[in-house]
Each structure stands twice: as C-alpha cells, then as structure tokens.
Amino acid sequence: MDLLQADLSAVTEAIQNKKISAVETTQFFLDRVQKLDQHLNAFTYVSNTAVKEAELLDQKIAHGENVGPLAGVVFGIKDLLCTKGMPSTAASKMLSGFVPPYDATVVSRLKKAGAIILGKLNQDEFAMGSSNETSVYGACHNPWDKSRVPGGSSGGSAAAQAARLTMATIGTDTGGSIRQPASFCGVVGVKPTYGRVSRYGIIAYASSLDQAGPIVSSVKDAALTLETICGQDSYDGTTSDHLVEKFSQNLNGNIKGKKIGVIKEFVQHIPDAHIAQSFQLALDTVKQLGAEIVEVSIPLTQYAVPMYYLISASEASSNFARYDGVKYGYRTPHDKTSNLSLDDFYSLSRGEGFGAEVKRRIMLGTYALSAGYSDAFYLKACKVRRLLRQQFLDAFEKCDLIMGPVTTAPAFKLGEKSVDPLKNYLNDIFTTSTNLCGLPGMSVPFSTAREGNSILPIGVQLTAPHFQEQSLLNFAYAIENTTPAADFRKLKPHVY
C-alpha cells in the first residue's frame, strides 16, 4: 500500500483488516520525519509514545475490539493545540516548557477515533503571522521551494502535509491561517463555521475568530477529519448543536446548476498575474462543470483587514494577559537574582518571553481597547463587522457559494516580507472576511505558478453560508478532479 498517496479511509481500513499494522504505519512516518524534517523544520516536537500507542491499537484490533474511523491515521498537530503530556507552546518562548495536563477537545476526539498523534507542528508565534517566520523554533520551509515560506500561521501543518511527513494534520485559522498555508503548500485546508469545532484547549489568539480545521491531502480526507472533530462540546459554550453530517459519505461532485458568487471588489484587485490567471481558469472550469457565475458586491470587504487587526489584536491583548510568569511558562531569570517589584517582574517576564510581532499586536490591541479609544477603534470595528456579516448573508441570497483567490501571490521568499508588518497584514485581504463573519471556508489546490526552477502551488478559495460545510466540500470535490487540479495532484514537492 502506498501510504503517501492512499486515502485516510483506505489506510485505516487496511489497518483494521490487519493488512498493515498501525505500528508499521506510525514507524513509516516517524522515519520520514527523521529523514526529511531537517529540510523543513515543520515539527516542534516528535512524540516518543506514538509507536507504543500504535501497538495498543494493533492489540485492540487483534482482539477484535471496535476502533474508531481514524484508527491508525497518523496526525500532526499544530503546536497551538494542547496535547496532554506533550509540550504545547504556541511556538513561543513565553510558553517554553509548558506541558498541559489536558488535551484540546479536537485532540481528544481524534484520539477517540483511533488517531495516532505523531507530534507538534511549527507555526507563527501564537498564530500571529502568515509566514511561520515568527516561531521561536525558527522558520519552517516550503517543501516546493526551501527558500520560500510555507505560509502561516499553520505553516508547519501545511509543510508537513505537503511533504507527507504526516497522513493528516490539524491547523487553526483566525484570519486565514489554515487556507493561506494550504494554498502555498498545495494541500487542502478547511476553516469550519465558527462554533463547529470546539476551541477548548486551543491556545486562544482571537476568541471570536479562532477555529481549528484539517490540513490534509484530499477533499475526502478533509471531510473525514472534519466530521470527527466537529460538534458541540460542553467545554466550549460557543460551540453549536448544529447537526454534524457524515461529510465523507455524502461527498458529491455534481455542481451543475450551482450559483457561484464572485466578489467584485476582490477580483478587481488581484495584484499578481499568476493568481489572476489561476482564478480565471478556475472560473472557466466550474462553468464547464455546469455552474453559473454570479457577480456579487460586498463593499465592506475593503475594510476587512483593518477590522480584523483591530478585533484580533484587542482580543489577543486580553487573552495573553494570563502569560505573566507566575503560574507556568517563561519567567524572567532576574527574578532569582534581584528583588523585583511586581510590575518589573511582569515587564521582564513578558518582555523577554514574547516575540516582536506578538508584542506589536498586544500593544495595538491594548490601545484599541483603551478608554477614550475603544469607541473609535474596537467598538467601531465590531459594528462594521456586523454590517459585513449582513452583506455576506445578502450575497448568499444570490449564490450558493463564493469562490475567490486565497492569497495575493504564491509563496514568497523567506525574509522577503517580514520587514514591513503593514504590507504583510494587507496580504490577508482575501481570507479575513470569512473569519469576521464566522463562515466556513476552504482552500483547494488548483494550479501552479513557475518561478525560476520552482513550481509553486496556487489554491482556490471557497466560502459557504454558515454550517454548509457539506456543500463546501462537495464543490471542492468537484474542482479537485478537474484539470488542472487533478494534474497538480500528480506533482511531488521538492522535499518529499
């Protein structure tokens, strides 16, 4: 069995039918991490219990016990998610040494379904960034071109998956952190509807925007993973009791007669020729599949980036207040040698523990929430957010799904953009609206761009009305099997 190409369902079936053991599979991917991750730096921690867990699973299977629908599937988990007994640091010095005594609900659901957790994956510090360059563990590299970024913040998840160091991964998406790296690395990434997936145990960045989702190799795998992690959780009051369909069993690639919305304000301003070309090709392709293209106008999308940065930074400034050096994580060593005041203790611990981008956003958020400023910044952003949501709901009156580009350009070079934060922020233009409105969105690999010797993947973005993950996945399933997407799937990245 080709573990690098097989569907998750096929692998788990083979394991459950004892055609291949969970130990073998786990060892296979551990070996790949051992051999290839030196080129990528996608892993921040590799489990030393994975093989043992696989053994237990094999024993269960041998005893004819019931194992879950992901039995033996080898997962990599973004470091932002808490994993019991494994370091969970959000790629920050501030949480160095933090090993939680609990699993995130997403992780416990995967484990319950029989998944094997191979280790933790690199990311931007506290999920703040879109290049994976703000990680305390150092940058992660794009498997298609090691001189380029994998995107972020879930860069490690996308890179590991593209290079098949894992069978599947979990990322998180606050403003595009699943979809953008998925597009840069040529893998499938889904950001579910806000409230679909429990945030419990996911180190919070922006509570009203964060969602976890799969970054995997195919739409089918995305569907299977998603149906496992979705659903109401008593530990997260913001999760919905909305029915979770068996997405993987209902996949249907027939999109004939579907109305596909294109946001006028987006397509007018695609700055990169590769992206513009790819998107035009995507429109032509879905038309050939019988879908109808409808232009919709969502004027407030032009404010999505400032709205996103005001709201996410404000929430983060409060969420990160708990990292004070008192209870866990990093504490300034000056604490031991000098008699610090409480304020100095805080300032030093936080000043030394947080990286530059995190500090920038804490300051931005603190300012936006301050008395005298919050009306003009935070609260105004919240009000516009409501209006933006309404504009999206209105647009969905005219179409079933919205299709657009994911990024403003293919993967950029390491170091290229980290100097100008504002310019970096503007790259989030196509992804942030989805989070602000709580909508489900995904990125599907579609075509490629050639940059010198490199082939760079380009994804297409889909956005659906709330809780319509099934139609999102169905549409992606249709695209996945067309030219050029199907051709892309035959390509292998440089690191593989």
Catalytic residues: 78, 153, 177
* One residue of 201, 353, 405, 459 binding other proteins per CB under 8 A: 201
Cα Rg of the chain (Å, integer)? 21
Closest separation between CB of residue 415 and other proteins, Å?
Answer: 29
Closest separation between CB of residue 470 and other proteins, Å?
Answer: 25
Contact between 426 and other proteins (CB under 8 A)?
no
Q: Which two tokens stand for residue 239?
A: 């999760």
Contact between 422 and other proteins (CB under 8 A)?
no
Q: Which two tokens stand for residue 402?
A: 């919205």
Closest separation between CB of residue 102 and other proteins, Å?
Answer: 5
* One residue of 91, 121, 165, 204 binding other proteins per CB under 8 A: 204
> Mask of contacts with other proteins, 377-406, x by CB under 8 A?
-x----------------------------
* One residue of 34, 235, 280, 426 binding other proteins per CB under 8 A: 235
* One residue of 322, 386, 413, 423 binding other proteins per CB under 8 A: 322
Contact between 318 and other proteins (CB under 8 A)?
yes
Q: For residues 118 and 381, which CB has a smaller minimum distance to other proteins in the complex?
A: 381
* One residue of 207, 232, 277, 482 binding other proteins per CB under 8 A: 207
Site for other proteins in 12-31 (CB under 8 A): none
CA distance 29 to 486: 25
Contact between 331 and other proteins (CB under 8 A)?
no
Contact between 127 and other proteins (CB under 8 A)?
no
Q: For residues 298 and 313, which CB has a smaller minimum distance to other proteins in the complex?
A: 313
Contact between 174 and other proteins (CB under 8 A)?
no
Residue 3 CB burial class (10 angstroms; 0-12, 13-18, ≥19): middle
* One residue of 327, 422, 453, 490 binding other proteins per CB under 8 A: 327
Site for other proteins in 211-230 (CB under 8 A): none
Query: Are the beta carbons of 473 and 222 closer than 8 angstroms?
Result: yes
Residue 444 CB burial class (10 angstroms; 0-12, 13-18, ≥19): buried
Contact between 101 and other proteins (CB under 8 A)?
yes
Contact between 88 and other proteins (CB under 8 A)?
yes
Residues 6+ apart with CB under 8 A from 386: none
**Number of residues near other proteins (by CB under 8 A):** 44
* One residue of 102, 231, 267, 283 binding other proteins per CB under 8 A: 102
Q: What is the 3-state secondary structure (H, E, C) of 289-329?
A: CCCEEEEECCHHHHHHHHHHHHHHHHHHHHHHHHCCCCCCC
Cis geometry, peptide bond prior to residue 410 (ω within 30 degrees of 0): no
255 half-sphere exposure, CB direction, 13 A CA radius = 30
**Interface region with other proteins, contact rule CB under 8 A, candidates 19-27, 96-104, 222-230, 272-280:** 96-104
CA distance 182 to 192: 14
Q: For residues 102 and 496, which CB has a smaller minimum distance to other proteins in the complex?
A: 102
- Nearest CA-CA partner of 266 in 280, 284, 255: 280
Query: Are the beta carbons of 150 and 411 closer than 8 angstroms?
Result: yes
Contact between 446 and other proteins (CB under 8 A)?
no
Strands 259-263 and 401-405: parallel
* One residue of 53, 227, 315, 400 binding other proteins per CB under 8 A: 315
* One residue of 36, 262, 328, 496 binding other proteins per CB under 8 A: 328
CA distance 238 to 14: 37
CA distance 429 to 231: 29
Contact between 163 and other proteins (CB under 8 A)?
no
Contact between 236 and other proteins (CB under 8 A)?
yes
Residues 6+ apart with CB under 8 A from 370: none
Contact between 370 and other proteins (CB under 8 A)?
yes
Contact between 104 and other proteins (CB under 8 A)?
yes
Query: Are the beta carbons of 309 and 360 closer than 8 angstroms?
Result: no
DSSP 68-105: -TTTT-EEEEETTB-BTTB---TT-GGGTT---SS--H
CA distance 42 to 493: 15
Q: Which two tokens stand for residue 59?
A: 């024993």
Q: For residues 136 and 414, which CB has a smaller minimum distance to other proteins in the complex?
A: 136
Q: For residues 215 and 381, which CB has a smaller minimum distance to other proteins in the complex?
A: 381
Contact between 238 and other proteins (CB under 8 A)?
yes
Contact between 9 and other proteins (CB under 8 A)?
no
Closest separation between CB of residue 194 and other proteins, Å?
Answer: 10
Looking at residue 269, its amino acid is H
Report the interface residues with other proteins, using CB under 8 A.
Answer: 81-82, 88, 90, 95, 98, 100-102, 104, 199-204, 206-208, 234-238, 314-315, 317-318, 320-324, 326-328, 342, 346, 366, 369-371, 374, 378
